[in-house]
Copies of this chain bind each other. A is one copy, B any other.
Amino acid sequence: MTNMLICYYSRSGNTKAMAMKIAEGAGSKKITVDVKKVSETKAADLLGYDCIIFGSPTYYGTYAAELKSLIDKSVKYHGDLRGKVGGAFASCGVLGGGCETTVAQLLEALLIHGMIIIGDTEGAHYGPVSIEKPDKEVEKTCIEYGKRLAELTIKLH
């Protein structure tokens, strides 16, 4: 069966809450969804999924060093993730606090792995973002994002 990994780093719980809502959306489609912390994910684990979505809080305009470390280690499998579907989401502390640049930079990492990404005409265009705790609107965006990425993965698989 087609499967998806949602791999996140979270201290406050805000990014984790977003991960859970994305999983909820994806889970409504015919796809197996695993939600894992970065600390529980090995670079080799990425090989086993058809879709990989990374989430992080925003630290200095981009994703946490812990997630960057996992991505740097994934160079061992450079080329092996080609054609998989990818996605990204981020939380931050304040409007204009770097959420968007964090998502954009995660997407760039996925592109360098030869992965396929998709944007959205409504809501958060590059991927879900939240200021502090996700509100109802952000939760909805996350659910829709999970659905959309699941659909694309199933279509391509």
Q: Would A109 and B156 be within 8 Å (CB), given that A68-B68, A114-B119, A126-B96 are in contact?
A: no
Q: Are the C-beta atoms of A108 and B69 separated by less than 8 Å?
A: no
* Partner-B contacts on A (CB < 8 A): 59-62, 64-65, 68-69, 71-72, 74-75, 78-79, 82-83, 94-101, 103-105, 107-129, 131, 137-138, 141, 152, 155-156
User: Which secondary structure characterizes the binding site on chain A?
Assistant: mixed
A–B Cβ pairs within 8 angstroms, 23 of them: A59-B71, A60-B75, A60-B112, A61-B125, A62-B68, A79-B121, A94-B122, A94-B124, A96-B123, A96-B141, A100-B101, A101-B104, A101-B108, A104-B104, A104-B108, A111-B119, A111-B120, A111-B126, A112-B120, A113-B121, A114-B119, A114-B120, A156-B156
